[in-house]
A and B are shown apart, each in its own frame.
Chain A
Amino acid sequence: MEQVYLSSSPHIHSGASTPQIMRAVIYSLLPACAAAIFFFGVPALAVLLIAVLGCMACEVVCQRLMKQPVTLNDGSAVVTGILLGLNLPPTSPWWMTLLGAVIAIGIGKQIFGGLGYNLFNPALVARVVLLISFPVQMTRWTAPTPLRYGVDAVTAATPLGEWKTAVMLTGRLPEGLQGGTFSYLVGNMPGCVGEVSALALLGGAIYLFRRKILTWHIPLSYVASVMILSGLFWLVDPGKYPDPLFHLLTGGLILGAFFMATDMVTTPVSPGGMILFGVGCGVLTVIIRLFGGYPEGVSFAILLMNAATPLIDRYMRPRTFGVVRQGGAR
């Protein structure tokens, strides 16, 4: 007798697999890596390499120790490594980058059970641990030196850091912030390895949108809520608060909104939940930037919302098909 198999929908698999998605994410991050190496030279390349190799090695070691199948080939460790490298200053000493890789994969990911089980974005866990532990090394920025390698680096403040210091000292915006919108757009400013070039990041993001790996919900709601909230403050006192474009282009907002806050594992699954997640990130980012002790709040905001993700998923559950809402239609 012929066997008949019954299963519930969905029946058609899109064919997407973890290695494919991870490979696409790696491709999408390459422009940002290239921009970083263009602006910061060999140190940026070194940071990225150490982070990626460190993450891969740590993944193998952890899975061997825990007697789990080694899943290095799915590429998730490489993605974590690149994201970690992009989130560190170009001047990061090698031991700090390596420690970050160990924290990201060991404590951020494998302790929870590996890919798919981690509560928090591993790269951001590592970044925040390093930021809290090594405040000096994590805030030592250099001015970009496009294509002038071998020149001694010049230390400089990030635009957000410069603004924060000025506001704390004088209560006003600094006279003329270094750079300008064009510099911010291409990435010609001090900052983390990968956060500086908005154009390179957006190029990668467009590729991910076309591959349907990114949906608009989180990036748009995140960026929009930052722009609107910071815009309100700017309208109230333009002498003290920077304009929304400054918030968008300096600091890690674009890197965070498109590549860190959209991690599939640590963010809500329903469209409504994603929007709520994005708005939460945006509000927290603006609050931390304007009123917190740190000049930049993207990583803290995303980690805090990661913690809220299970709760959001619970309350933003889509209605099951065919089930009538309680007290609803008769």
Chain B
Amino acid sequence: MSLVKGFTKGLWRENAVFRLLLGLCPALAVTTSAVNGLGMGFATTFVLVCSNIVVASLRKVIPARVRIPSFIVIIASFVTVVQLCMEAYFYDLHKALGIFIPLIVVNCLILGRAEAYASRNPLLPSVIDGAGMGLGFTLALFVLGSVRELFGVGTLFGVAVFGAGYQPLILLILPPGAFIVMGLLLAGMNRIEEFRK
């Protein structure tokens, strides 16, 4: 597989959220606004790329039997980096995302890529794969967050979009709204896929 394809597959064809249904916990929980979705997506992308780099570099050294604990330790290190950086430079985002930043450790997307890709491929393809998958994840969270913020609050990036008379559908920024919007977007994605064939 070419590097370009390795990058773009994460954006659409194997999109983590909409095609593989991986990493749904943060995708549903933190996407109450476009900013939160982007923040969570970029944090995850950073961890994913870094952990893919380390896992791919050490793939011949890590014994097969303890590979999962090893991956978790590698991932957790980068999550700690993200968490401390975010707390220092993006405090509001840090507060909004809360417990879901440390929970990036158990994001099955990251562990899945480490196990399925980085641990059996050379460094460069692994980096590309991590970047593509991470950006696809970010894109999905951004779309989910935008739709929920747009109709649930009536704003986008905090800027009012509709007139003053707009009554927000508050349900969409509550947990059930995440599932409903997610389901509708999945249905839309499948419909587009059908047309492309």
Closest chain A residue, CB of each to CB of B180: A107
Q: Is the CB of A133 within 8 A of B180?
A: no
Of residues 109 through 164 on chain A, the ones whose CB sits less than 8 Å from some CB of chain B are: 111, 129, 132-135, 137
Q: Is the CB of B180 within 8 A of A132?
A: no
Shortest distance in angstroms between B142's beta carbon and chain A's nearest beta carbon?
23
A111: B residues at CB distance < 8 A: 183, 187
Chain A interface: which of B9-17, B111-119, B130-138, B163-171? B163-171
Shortest distance in angstroms between B147's beta carbon and chain A's nearest beta carbon?
15
Is B25 close to A, CB under 8 A?
Answer: no
Is B174 close to A, CB under 8 A?
Answer: yes
Shortest distance in angstroms between A69's beta carbon and chain B's nearest beta carbon?
20
Among B169, B172, B180, B183: residue with most chain A CB under 10 A: B169
Closest chain A residue, CB of each to CB of B152: A133
Q: Is the CB of A132 within 8 A of B167?
A: no
Q: Is the CB of A129 within 8 A of B167?
A: no
B168: A residues at CB distance < 8 A: 133
Q: Report how far A96 CA is from B171 CA in the complex, Å.
A: 14
Shortest distance in angstroms between B75's beta carbon and chain A's nearest beta carbon?
36
Shortest distance in angstroms between B86's beta carbon and chain A's nearest beta carbon?
31
B interface secondary structure, majority: helix
Closest chain A residue, CB of each to CB of B151: A133
Contact of A132 among B170, B183, B187 (CB under 8 A): B170
The size of the chain B interface, using a CB distance under 8 A, is 10
A99: B residues at CB distance < 8 A: 169
Q: Is the CB of A134 within 8 A of B167?
A: yes
Shortest distance in angstroms between B182's beta carbon and chain A's nearest beta carbon?
13
Shortest distance in angstroms between B165's beta carbon and chain A's nearest beta carbon?
10
Shortest distance in angstroms between A107's beta carbon and chain B's nearest beta carbon?
7
Closest chain B residue, CB of each to CB of A137: B167
Q: Report how far A290 CA is from B195 CA in the complex, Å.
A: 52
Closest chain A residue, CB of each to CB of B165: A95
Closest chain A residue, CB of each to CB of B174: A132
Closest chain B residue, CB of each to CB of A131: B171
Q: Report how far A134 CA is from B166 CA in the complex, Å.
A: 11
B169: A residues at CB distance < 8 A: 99, 129, 133
Of residues 266 through 319 on chain A, the ones whose CB sits less than 8 Å from some CB of chain B are: none
Shortest distance in angstroms between B177's beta carbon and chain A's nearest beta carbon?
9
Q: Report how far A59 CA is from B194 CA in the complex, Å.
A: 23
Closest chain B residue, CB of each to CB of A132: B171
Closest chain A residue, CB of each to CB of B169: A133
B187: A residues at CB distance < 8 A: 111
Of residues 86 through 116 on chain A, the ones whose CB sits less than 8 Å from some CB of chain B are: 95-96, 99, 107, 111
Closest chain A residue, CB of each to CB of B173: A133
Closest chain B residue, CB of each to CB of A99: B169
Of residues 155 through 197 on chain B, the ones whose CB sits less than 8 Å from some CB of chain A are: 167-172, 174, 180, 183, 187
Shortest distance in angstroms between A89's beta carbon and chain B's nearest beta carbon?
15
Shortest distance in angstroms between B150's beta carbon and chain A's nearest beta carbon?
14
Q: Report how far A107 CA is from B183 CA in the complex, Å.
A: 10
Q: Report how far A111 CA is from B187 CA in the complex, Å.
A: 10
Q: Report how far A329 CA is from B183 CA in the complex, Å.
A: 49
Shortest distance in angstroms between B175's beta carbon and chain A's nearest beta carbon?
11
Q: Report how far A129 CA is from B183 CA in the complex, Å.
A: 16
Q: Report how far A96 CA is from B168 CA in the complex, Å.
A: 11
Q: Report how far A147 CA is from B126 CA in the complex, Å.
A: 75
Q: Report how far A173 CA is from B180 CA in the complex, Å.
A: 40
B180: A residues at CB distance < 8 A: 107
A134: B residues at CB distance < 8 A: 167, 170
A129: B residues at CB distance < 8 A: 169, 171
Across the A-B interface, give the 6 residue pairs with the lowest CB-CB distance, nearest first.
Answer: A133-B171, A133-B170, A133-B169, A132-B171, A129-B171, A134-B167
The 8 sampled A-B contact pairs (Cβ below 8 Å) are A96-B167, A107-B180, A132-B170, A132-B171, A133-B169, A133-B172, A134-B170, A135-B170
Given A129-B169, A129-B171, A134-B167, 11 more contacts at CB 8 Å? A95-B167, A96-B167, A111-B187, A132-B171, A132-B174, A133-B168, A133-B169, A133-B170, A133-B171, A134-B170, A135-B170
